[in-house]
Amino acid sequence: MKTDVRERDDSFEVDIELPGFHKDEVQLSLENGYLNITAAKVLDKDEKAQKSGKLIRQERCAGSMSRSFYVGEDLTSRRNWTTVY
């Protein structure tokens, strides 16, 4: 998980690359002064092969990753932060 944290004049910017994850698979939370970022990918059991022919092998990745950053007690709600995907 490539992560960059920048300090601005009046804010902090956290830039995280999450390759292979969709927006709805990423969760953000704020607890006790910590910003928590979690991304989880599950296997799609309803995925069906669209091509003709006998499927010999099918491989998929599933898993999760998370990071936590102390941002201080001043950031108390989502009203104080913005997200860009």
Alpha helices in the chain (DSSP H): none
Specify whether the CB–CB gap between 37 and 16 falls below 8 A: yes
Residues facing residue 39 across a β-bridge? 26, 65
> By mean pLDDT, which of 3-7, 13-17, 36-40, 80-84 is the weakest?
80-84
pLDDT, tens digit (0-9, with 9 covering 90-100), for 8-43: 887 778 889 988 888 899 999 888 889 899 999 887
Q: Would the pTM of this model clear 0.85, i.e. be above it?
A: no
Strand ranges (E), 1-85: 3-7, 12-16, 26-31, 34-41, 63-70
83-to-41, 49, 61, 70 alpha-carbon distances in Å: 20, 35, 26, 17
